[in-house]
Amino acid sequence: MGQLLAQLRRTIEEENLLQAGERIVVAVSGGPDSAALLHALEALARTYQWQLAAAHVDHGFRGEESLSEADWVEAFAGQLGIPCFRTQLNMPGELKQHPGNAQDRARELRYAFLVETANQWRAGKIALGHHADDQAETVLMRLLRGSGSHGLAGMPIRRMEKNVELVRPLLRIYKAELVSYCREQGIDYRTDSSNSKRIYTRNAIRLDVLPALEDFSPGAAQSLNRTAMILGDEDAYLKQLTEELFAEMTTVESGFIRLSASRLAALHPALQRRLIHLILSYLSGGDDAVTFRHIEQVRHAVRQHAAPNARFELAGSIRLERDYDGLCFTTAQAKTPAAYEYEIHALPAVVQVAEAGIAMQLERITLESNEPRQALSGGGMEEAWLDAERLHMPLIVRCRKPGDRMRIQGLNGSKKVKDMFIDAKIPVSERETMPLVTDAEDRVLWIPGLRRSDVALVSDRTRSVVHIRISSII
């Protein structure tokens, strides 16, 4: 077994990239890297009982040149006895209809075809031809652009793309080794003429920057790969910590994520940034829209000197609202809590107030003449006692309405429910779902978790009471 095959086999087994008996789609551009990958995997296929298929995308940028490359890939795969799936895109036309970054759009469509091919061929893996020099270029590009350890870890050796796993078996092998392998095996690979155009950042780094670094510091590419590997391990550990913090610190609902500002502020800045990034990525559906500026906006919002009430527009139509110690991230698609109202015409009764996450039990109790009333005169966080004969049925459990007021004992008047929420520092995101108990005359009797009014207070003359108790819905 040759040196490259031995190294490839070692990487596959050490990283557990491919399993015996798997069906694998190999992305083949026609260059020396992907051509060597297809040939080498075919050489190992009998040992591992792999079933291989080649997949090629002609982006339509280079006319006859790219068409001849597609024909070569199909013929090369045929020589190896491997089926080939190919497609031709019209990227110039695509970009006219959907202007944007040509390379990003081409990559998006290329990966979509690879996943479609894998699903069609019932393959669980797609093998890509990225090698160690590609990794060095990627790390350097991200370093120049500005990145944390996640970006500087470079391309992962494996990752999921929808329902298929992408693997990079050549990531520990350098291009010179692949070119040498092709020469030894008589593989007449193709050369993409656009790879020599310095208008593309990656090409300029490969053709000019990395060679200059090698002159200045021999082994620069190896150093960049070593750095990526170290940072990749550290990134994986920090990712695990961040996911644990996400599960512990956040409350996730449809289109909403809530957490404590003070708890977020207490984290180390490295974990703050990662947790914020994870939250924004979760809500926006990916990393692309999340920038350093968005992350720092959130960090500023949780600092002690920041305003206790603030709103920010963040990545991908995400809005951040701070209410005292509460942070609420919402998406543009998040639904505003719907108004609700439940009528209770007869007692006893149990009302499930799903909007507020509580169950409310109500019962009417007749008091004995010698039974003390003083203990029933108040109202707390979880229960309230009301003089039944001073109420007007039906009782109603509902969300707040504009203009709601509550009569408060000792105030000699009423107070706006809105102001009561503000005084109690109830987060804005929770105010619309907090339940109010009223009677048929729309008098606010009790706000569970906050306080009760002076309407229908229990006195020495009270003969029967309505007892209301709340509990959480589990």
Interatomic CA distance for residues 342 and 349, integer angstroms: 11
Interatomic CA distance for residues 408 and 453, integer angstroms: 5
The residues, ordered by sequence, that sit 6+ positions from 266 with a Cβ below 8 Å of its Cβ are none
| 196 carries a ligand binding annotation | no
Residues 72-105 as b or e (16 or more Cβ within 10 Å = b): bbbebbeeeebebbbbebebeebeeeeeeeeeeb
Beta bridge partners of 337: none
Interatomic CA distance for residues 28 and 48, integer angstroms: 21
Interatomic CA distance for residues 373 and 350, integer angstroms: 25
Does 427 sit behind a cis peptide bond, omega within 30 degrees of 0 on the bond before it?
Answer: no
| 31 carries a ligand binding annotation | yes
| 78 carries a ligand binding annotation | no
Structure tokens at 464: 């029967």
- Concatenating the DSSP letter of every residue in 16-29 gives T---TT-EEEEE--
Looking at 405-455, list the stretches that DSSP marks H as alpha helix, in order from N- to C-terminal side: 417-423, 428-431
| 377 carries a ligand binding annotation | no
Interatomic CA distance for residues 2 and 140, integer angstroms: 31
Interatomic CA distance for residues 409 and 378, integer angstroms: 10
Structure tokens at 401: 């309405």
Tokens 């924004």 correspond to 280
The 10 Å Cβ neighbour count of residue 149 is: 20
Looking at 49-130, list the stretches that DSSP marks H as alpha helix, in order from N- to C-terminal side: 64-79, 91-97, 102-120
Beta bridge partners of 26: 54, 127
Enumerate the known binding-site residues for ATP. 29-34
Enumerate the known binding-site residues. 29-34
